[in-house]
A and B are shown apart, each in its own frame.
Chain A
Amino acid sequence: MSITRRSALGLIAATGAASLAMPNVARGATGRVVVIGGGFGGATAAKYLKLRSPGLAVTLIEPAEMFYTCPFSNLYLGGLWDFAAIGQGYDLLRSDYGVEIVHDRAETVDTAARTLRLGGGAELGYDALVMSPGIDMRWDALAGYGEAAAEKAPHAWKAGPQTQLLRAQLEAMPDGGTFVMVAPDNPFRCPPGPYERASLVANYFKAHKPASKVLILDAKDAFSKQARFTDGWSTLYGDMIEWVSRSNDGKVVRVDADALEVETEFGQRIRADVLNVIPPQRAGLIADRAGLTNESGWVPVNPATFEAVAAPGVFVIGDATIAAPMPKSGFAANAQGKVVAANIVAMLEGREPPAPAWLNTCYSLVGPEYGISVVGVYRLIDGAIAEVPGSGGVSPASGGPEFRAREAANTFGWYHAITNDIWGTVW
């Protein structure tokens, strides 16, 4: 199965209509907003800034010309989608919304002077800065696992060449092999992500390499939507997937990428045929360089505005932030991008920021026709982000196959809708 998108023509027509239909365009705000990072948070913020206030000059800094989404990269790994299907471009943000796109990397930010320097040498000033740099790996956190080791035992936790490398390894693996995944302790990008990946790799094995195994070595004793995942695993894959908790010696303390071998806390050595190491993570490095992170490696923010505690006027969103109870998800980054765009426009127009509310749904596919989800609605309560009581919840245990199929359809629908919302992609 492979997915292609509609022609460029259909694409332009559809979004053109969308922008004509935009209501109540604000006149007031002028000034320059720079957005670092064209992923889920940053591209959303850039678009919604221009939507709310076309008079603003909005510059989006993103090194990649094509952004490959982590969401649905597990479908690519499982052989269900082409790699091209998860690629998102910036043409529509440029042509339909008037966002200036600069394909470069922000190297340093001077939050006092309100300037930043790009890799190519250019220096930019700003009235407001949005940063959504995502994550970087903590290369010093797991013995033996550095950037060179990731070329043999990929993390594939940023979609791109790492994801393609892991797919190639899965394809080359002989039947009867073992896919070993090393899963990190909290906090990390996309809490259900490792378990969705295990599911879709098992789905691929079941069809193509049925004697193979998926072994998850976990630094945790519990994981997101655990009961739903494990139900789904036994229904769809029998005992193909084995999960080893931290208390059962699942925590990996050393990686030997050349030998494709890992060592656990209590000294077991486990060899893999394909080894996927998801290491501990931190906010994208630029957040550190701008002096916005605390000792946790993540960026504390003012929950009402998402301004960095260390630098008011710098708005940080997405995975890089400490936004708990909101998870590190693309859905949450998108919601935060919209709230921050409204805040910045209000700020530049001298108004009070509107009262924020955020929604998050983490969908996961246990199989192509077996979806599960967890929903949360968040508001500011006494100055902190809090989940609205009774607002959400996880898929019920009792859902039958039709229910799971409907949730799977919703998962695809979500991906189509969010990539359309952010990058204007038409499916």
Chain B
Amino acid sequence: MPNGEGPLPTRRSALALAGAAALLPVLVRRAVAQGEAPWWQGVETARALVGDAVPSTEGITIDLPYLSEDGTSIALGVAVDRPMTPESYVESLHVHALKNPAPEVADYFFSPLSGRAEIATRIRINETMPVGVIARVSTGEVIVAEREILIVTIGCLTNAATYATTDIMRTRVRVPDRFLPGVPAEITTLINHPMETGLRTTLAGDVIPKNIVTRFLASINFATVFEARFRSSVAVNPYLRFFIAPPQSGELVLRWEEDSGLAAIERRPIVVG
């Protein structure tokens, strides 16, 4: 690491970042070719999600940079190309970073009112590795996909933002001014949060306690339309884009929950027509 300086997280400015090196990306060559077994068989939670299904591999698009020069906050987009009707819709989507300390990154739960099974977020990736996703459809269909990302830190860059944040639990939201009935439109959200993994130690060797946002809920007129569960591999300042397709006007309530029990709430009018 040529340098690890930059603004420290304000809440923890007294702490040294020695332990951070464990989570900063290091130069790693392209992963050697995987064996014959599909990736999800090697991850317990993934295996449970697939269950007895014979997974299909068509219909998921993973949008991930080919190479990232900074593994601390990588843009990830996943879109599942399936109908979203009460009869058949994508129920959930699960993201795994296969070589992170814990491979589970996040889970997303959709409803027919999501309109579109598509999310965008930012994740932490320790080293060159495949990212694997699993989608479960209400009909019982399971779809899996994977994509590799190369992580090579670059000489001229610094990795200051791994945990850097201010105004913790401050939220930002963008909601379209107007919806067409039943037509999916995008909601963009961000909450300021360090997403402390619990894997860092101070110079003195004390573990910095884990402290993350664990859950995000979106409801319209008290009915949940979308939910997400975050783990430590979601990047600092959790960012999330998803779709809703409200049939009529109402109120959108967004709620973020921290592992301490703290929550943040945003309310926005939904205007349909």
Contact = CB atoms under 8 A, between A and B. Distances in A.
What's the dominant secondary structure at chain A's contact region? loop
Interface stretch (B53-61, B137-145, B154-162, B212-220): B154-162
B156 A327 contact: yes
B192 A266 contact: no
B86 interface: no
Contact of A226 (B7, B27, B29): B7
Interface in B30-88: 65-70, 72-73, 75
Interface string A374-412: 111010001110110000111001000000000000000
Contact of A327 (B65, B66, B68, B154): B154
B188 A186 contact: no
A362 B66 contact: no
B158 A394 contact: yes
B2 interface: yes
A83 to B, nearest CB: 26
Given A221-B164, A324-B152, A393 B69 contact: no
Contacts of A225: 156, 158
A373 to B, nearest CB: 10
A238 B75 CA distance: 33
A247 B190 contact: yes
Chain A interface size, as a band, is 35 or more
A35 interface: no
Contacts of A296: 65-67
B155 A222 contact: no
A187 B155 CA distance: 12
B159 A325 contact: no
Interface in B109-163: 152-161
Given A192-B156, A222-B70, A324-B152, A266 B29 contact: no
Nearest to A303: B29
**Which of B3, B174, B188, B192 is packed against the most chain A CB atoms within 10 Å?**
B3
A302 interface: no
B236 interface: yes
A224 interface: yes
Contact of A247 (B3, B6, B159, B192): B192
Contact of A222 (B75, B161, B239): B161
A324 B158 contact: no
A267 B2 CA distance: 37
25 contacts: A186-B154, A187-B154, A223-B158, A224-B156, A230-B7, A266-B173, A296-B66, A296-B67, A324-B69, A324-B153, A324-B154, A325-B154, A326-B154, A327-B156, A327-B157, A360-B156, A374-B3, A374-B155, A374-B156, A376-B156, A382-B29, A387-B27, A393-B3, A394-B5, A397-B5
Interface of B: 2-3, 5-7, 27, 29, 65-70, 72-73, 75, 152-161, 164-165, 172-174, 188, 190, 192, 236-237, 239
